[in-house]
Amino acid sequence: MSVSDDTNGRDPPAMMLGIESSCDETACAVLDGEGRVRAEIVASQIADHAPFGGVVPEIAARAHLAALAPMVRAALAEAGIAARDLSGIAATVGPGLIGGLIVGAGFAKGMALATGAAFYAINHLEAHALTARLPGIAARAPDFPYLLLLVSGGHTALIAVEAVGRYRRLGTTLDDAAGEVFDKVAKLLGLGYPGGPALEALAAEGDPARFTLPRPLLGRAGCDFSFSGLKTAVAQIVSRLPPGSLPRGMAADIAASFQAAVVEAMADRLSHALAMMPDATCVVVAGGVASNRAIRGRLEATATAGGLTLIAPPLRLCTDNATMVAWAAIERRRAGYSSDDLAAHCRPRWPLDGAVQSLIAGKAVSVAV
């Protein structure tokens, strides 16, 4: 994707279709040119993956393939438009599970080819980074630069959002992502999948001081995260207990102690990032783990102590969704980026730092901003 004054002979998109299929949720949304949501639909695959205790990539890809066409038809009907009325079609092309990415991107490319609409290849992390600027999320869209804490099942990172298409990574996880550890600890406690919400609910019943758990990297320089040691510490506690189901009170205390450790570690890393980015206009938190009330409350207090406001999109826009994908395409078009070639390929790994890159004909091409 390159910055250009060229609009490919088209007026700015009046209607943008977004498609998201990077993991275990199939989603599509229709936004108008101002970012107003005309339709949004999400199909969860939790029931498909729950028996396996985690996401099975092949099952996820097949579910996306089965769900996508009827969902897009339903979204267009809800928006009151036909496919030919779309000026742009955006799809997540990375990072994520490659099978699901291919399904969503292939569908979007086929629609673009059939309708003549512009195609936009969207970085999933950039979509999260820009969600807070969607109309109606905050009283005023955050000005650049702002600080983003992205916490999800696959990503944990602190990122300086300097402009559309320009990002600087301040820190990231050295091992497991926060959401991944929540799910793994929930499994240790017998809570099933997905474990994050269940663990949060259980932690509310427990004593966070019952067990002494490590606070990884607490006080150390930089903004990197580490959760693997914390996960191992919980596993060691559980292994020393009698076999069989844990008493609910014991499980609640472990859950509360674990959550308290994560909360403290995240607040510490955020405070370091604030010191590294004195020109930040606000703090934005995004990703599924951002829905955790204890984490959100502590992050808000940390941001406030640093003189900044915390902006957290509503839950439906923190987890994987297509509204953010369509909005990212609108933001990129407004910033002067042209649409993408249909040769843009999918990529399971696509870091969000430096200039966002275009993936065309198998090559990563840096964007000059």
Pairing of strands 88-94, 15-20: parallel
Q: Which residue has better confidence, 200 or 10?
A: 200
Question: For the chain, which domains are there?
Answer: 15-130+319-365 (3.30.420.40), 143-312 (3.30.420.40)
Say which amino acid occupies 244.
G
Output the pLDDT for position 355: 45
Does 6 have pLDDT greater than 80? no
Per-residue DSSP letter, 13? P
pLDDT band at 62 (very low <50, low <70, confident <90, very high): very high
Average pLDDT, the chain: 91
Q: Binding-site residues for substrate, please?
A: 150-154, 183, 196, 200, 292
Does 367 have pLDDT greater than 70? no
* Three-class SS state of 46: helix
Does 12 have pLDDT greater than 50? no
Between CA 175 and CA 184 the distance in angstroms is 13
C-beta separation of 274 from 309 below 8 A: no
C-beta separation of 31 from 130 below 8 A: no
Token pair belonging to 152: 């999800």
C-beta separation of 224 from 217 below 8 A: yes
272-282, pLDDT tens digit by residue?
999 999 999 99
Output the pLDDT for position 345: 93
Q: Binding-site residues for Fe cation, please?
A: 124, 128, 320
Does 357 have pLDDT greater than 70? no
Burial category of 203 from C-beta neighbours within 10 Å (exposed 0-12, middle 13-18, buried 19 and up): buried
127-136, pLDDT tens digit by residue?
999 999 999 9
Whether the model clears a pTM of 0.85, i.e. scores above it, the answer is yes
3-state percent helix, strand, coil for the chain, nearest multiple of 5: 40, 20, 40
328-344, pLDDT tens digit by residue?
999 999 999 999 999 99
CA atoms within 13 A on the CB side of 44: 7
Output the pLDDT for position 193: 82
Q: Binding-site residues, please?
A: 124, 128, 150-154, 183, 196, 200, 292, 320
- Calculate what percentage of the chain has a pLDDT beyond 90: 83
Does 2 have pLDDT greater than 60? no
Does 8 have pLDDT greater than 90? no
Between CA 15 and CA 34 the distance in angstroms is 9
Token pair belonging to 89: 């079609």
